[in-house]
Structure 1
Amino acid sequence: MSTAKEKRQQELAIDMKQGMDYDELINCMRCGFCLPACPTYRESGGNEAASPRGRIALMKAVVDGIMEPDEDFEKQLSQCLGCRACEPACPSGMKYGFLLENARDIIQKKKKHSMPVRLLRSIVFNELFPKPNRMRTVSTLLWFYQNSGIQKIAQTTNLTKIAPGNLSVMERVLPKIPHPSKLKSRPTQVKAEGQVKKKVAFFSGCLMDTMFMDTNNSTLFILSKSNCEIVIPKKQNCCGALHAHSGEKDGAKQLAKENILAFENVHADYIISNAGGCGALLVDYSHLLKDDPEWADRAKVFSAKVKDISEVLFEVGMPKMILDNQIVTYQDSCHLRNVMGTFSAPRKLIQSIEGVTYSEMKDADRCCGSAGVYNIIEQEMSMQILDVKMHEVKATKARTLVTANPGCLLQMKLGIERAGLQKDVRAVHIVDLLAEAIRKAEENLNNLNKGKKI
């Protein structure tokens, strides 16, 4: 008689056989071009199972009935960052990210979590991220924590060190949460400052329009200054990236449909994202809903319009930008580079700022170890990758470290804390840097007009 565990593995093997794209699995030529691009392969000392090629072989072995989908199998899929750096390196055009997300979704449907984990996942995936009002409530609680004196007391008395893993450091690098009143009065339209060059629809996101609201405000400011007319659809929701990467594909599909509905009657030239992780899933809506007859074509139209803000700003042209003399380096957002194909535009924008000396970081295209909640659930590997990254940051001699995704930004701030570089290096989102540079240029011009020395 088989045990419950064995029965679950048998059912999981059947679901993998029925649910995985076998044509994509056999598309892997086993050439090994993906190996040097994979962070977990490198950091594991060359463990084949910790590579994209190895993980594809594991998936295929389960589908072919050669091996059972045991705990080691699940662990290898869990330890993948999902950075998708293997995809640009693959000569056969493997869509590894789609295989990984599909496998994780199948595994989650059969996984028997403990009651606390089930409750936590239900709250996060069903009751928090898809509910904008609740996201604002959480942000309000964080604002109260930061501004009531509780945070100061917790830090000075070392109460924050009770938090497991690196959460105590993460608490210190959280952005300043906007006042609750500002969260409730978000704009739905912003006019271009001059003659309109493009009409754009802005995907404001969930975390970006609460915890990182100042960055969204910088985005609207820059787009207006660059003569873009901006529409912000009110009924948009979370992009669903966290769901898709965590084996909650049905939730991701539902959020995709809500966002397509919110944007499809706007008639904008582009749908703009300022977060690499969000943008990557938005362009993947066409794949996510490809088997849904009602939504497949609508998803294609939506995804075709999605662009990262840096691409649009580079296309329409920026106003004059100035900063105090400083060395600046850039860390790629994995999904922005590997999925959306955006890598030169951010660099060119940074290099166009007067006073900036740009220093390219070695392996800037390699993952920082953030990967959504990876730095919490796979802390050891994440910190190993981050420490290597901070070594490369130091080598640039940069005063300012720029990235283009909120998770990457927090991870970079965490790395700065771990490396003791708080007095020497700051980490900023690219749109905040550009907004700072525009305001500096305007301030200099105003002072010049008033006859003041600059």
Structure 2
Amino acid sequence: MRCGFCLPACPTFRETGLEAESPRGRIALMKATVDGIMGPDVPFEEQMSHCLGCRACEPACPADVKYGQLIEQARDAIEEHTTQHRGWVKGVRKLVFQGLFPHPKRMELLGKGLKLYQRSGLQTAVRKTNALKLLPKQLADMEKILPEATGKGVVKTLGTHVPAKGQKVGTVGMFRGCLMDAMFAETNRKTVELLSEAGFDVAIPEAQNCCGALHAHSGETAQAKELAKRNIRAFREAGVDAIISNAGGCGAILVEYDHLLHDEPQWREDAAWFASHTKDISTILWNEGRPLPFAEPVGGEAAAVRVTYQDSCHLKNVMKGGASPRSLLGALPGVELVEMKDAGSCCGSAGIYNITQPEMANRLLEKKMKDANGTAAHYIVTSNPGCLLQMKLGIERHASDKRMEAVHIVDFLHERMAARG
């Protein structure tokens, strides 16, 4: 099946017009390598790395080709056979993928370190002395939009169990993530409070760990499988009705744990249960929770705010969850939801793509901000931490109105809840 319906859906093809930069082209390269027509050389590896992994090609494909699985298999094969990594690259990969992300306590230390950097005066000193100029421009710009860290994860803030308010609807487990809990702990806390307000008992298993998405996308499949098994075991033992994610990038691999572990028969049943019970926070709030008590705005229509929604690629294309966030935002009193042109196209974040492939990421971001500026919105709302940071970077660089603000949908909803009592 080589129809090419995927081409206009692919961000890199739309930017370059090159067949090799399309899903169809990349699949052809994979097949040529498998068939021995070409070798897995540096240009092949680079082309696989150019893919954002946004998976916009999958909904566009009439043959239901699982491109996301193919690109992950290709990257895994590259990591098994590559000799191109320099020594320091191997060291960094080992530190990040094995030494940091799989260990919640180490991620907590990362959050505490960021808090110390931000509040000790060190950040101010670094900026005043222009020390950031020693970093690549992309990393220097990213430092400017880092969230304010708390140094304390959601379990240390709320405990491992939060009861439902009012009549109980069900019991859910919250997937806290690794970077989410280190850098966006307040969003995690507010996620639990929204779920409790909507009628859910919320369990937060301490034994859970990183989802494994970055590992799977970077060719570290064996490590991704081990992380998946720990998460499945943790939430199975918690006895929950559903697993809730507030990060589109995490949710996309959580709903594919069944595929990730498809070649391990002893895990097949539990992995299928986990995948089928994973839901995005917006989906469960809109479809299953009790209506949230949103406050009426002060000042009537004059106080209404304009909001536009930027899709998380993985939430939209993999979890099929693009409608619920818009439904929630549209139901808010005093909020005008303005649809952004091409809101479903990738913003260029794509995990760590904006760091590893800054040129393409910046091209996509500039285009995205043109569309965002066209809405004249006060807020750009999204459902993924990577997208959130990318949109903050876009506002820093390209916003026509610097008062525009990028926010996670959980923070936006929580801020507008009426106080009980």
Distance 1:103 1:218 in 2: 38
Q: By how many angstroms is 1:196 displaced?
A: 0.3
Aligned-partner SS, 1:307: strand
- Specify which of 144, 158, 164 is matched with residue 192 of structure 1: 164
Tell me what 2:350 maps to. 371
Contact 2:249/2:315, CA 8 A, preserved across alignment: yes
Distance 1:377 1:158 in 2: 23
1:44-100 Cα offsets, whole Å, 9 max, x none, are 1x1000000000011111112222222111111000000000000000000000000
Contact 2:369/2:399, CA 8 A, preserved across alignment: no
Tell me what 2:228 maps to. 256
Distance 2:156 2:321 in 1: 32
Tell me what 1:206 maps to. 178
Which residues of structure 2 form unaligned runs of 5+? 298-302
Structure 1 runs of 4+ aligned residues shifted over 3 Å read 179-186
Contact 2:157/2:189, CA 8 A, preserved across alignment: no
- Specify which of 343, 352, 360 is matched with residue 381 of structure 1: 360
- Specify which of 99, 103, 123 is matched with residue 127 of structure 1: 99
Tell me what 1:395 maps to. 374
Match for 1:317: what amino acid? R
Distance 2:340 2:144 in 1: 25
- Pair 1:318-2:291 in alignment: yes
Match for 1:369: what amino acid? G
Tell me what 2:128 maps to. 156
Q: By how many angstroms is 1:317 displaced?
A: 3.4
Q: By how many angstroms is 1:321 displaced?
A: 1.7
Tell me what 1:449 maps to. none
Distance 2:130 2:193 in 1: 39
- Pair 1:223-2:195 in alignment: yes
Distance 1:186 1:110, change over 3 A: farther
Radius of gyration: which is bigger?
Answer: 1
Distance 1:152 1:182, change over 3 A: farther
Tell me what 2:410 maps to. 431
Tell me what 2:39 maps to. 68
Match for 1:403: what amino acid? T
Q: By how many angstroms is 1:318 displaced?
A: 2.6
Contact 1:183/1:210, CA 8 A, preserved across alignment: no
Aligned-partner SS, 1:271: strand
Q: How does 1:100-111 map to 2 (within 5 A)?
A: 100-111=71-82
Match for 1:103: what amino acid? A
Distance 1:187 1:263, change over 3 A: same
Tell me what 2:115 maps to. 143
Distance 1:182 1:284 in 2: 25
Match for 1:100: what amino acid? I
Distance 2:290 2:34 in 1: 50
Distance 1:170 1:251 in 2: 28
1:381-416 Cα offsets, whole Å, 9 max, x none, are 000000000000000110000000000000000111
Match for 1:393: what amino acid? A
Tell me what 1:343 maps to. 322
Contact 2:108/2:153, CA 8 A, preserved across alignment: no
- Pair 1:305-2:305 in alignment: no
- Pair 1:174-2:146 in alignment: yes
Under a length normalisation based on structure 1, what TM-score does the superposition of the two structures give? 0.89
Q: By how many angstroms is 1:266 displaced?
A: 2.2
Aligned-partner SS, 1:428: strand
Q: CA RMSD in A?
A: 1.4
Tell me what 1:243 maps to. 215
Contact 1:165/1:376, CA 8 A, preserved across alignment: no
Q: By how many angstroms is 1:424 displaced?
A: 2.2
- Specify which of 393, 405, 419 is matched with residue 384 of structure 2: 405
* Matched residue count: 413
Q: By how many angstroms is 1:180 displaced?
A: 4.6
Which residues of structure 1 form unaligned runs of 5+? 1-28, 447-454
Distance 1:421 1:152 in 2: 26
Aligned-partner SS, 1:295: helix
Distance 1:42 1:185 in 2: 45
Match for 2:293: what amino acid? K
Contact 2:111/2:151, CA 8 A, preserved across alignment: no
Contact 2:257/2:275, CA 8 A, preserved across alignment: yes
Distance 1:157 1:308 in 2: 42
Percent identity, please.
54
Under a length normalisation based on structure 2, what TM-score does the superposition of the two structures give? 0.96
Contact 1:326/1:357, CA 8 A, preserved across alignment: yes
- Pair 1:80-2:51 in alignment: yes
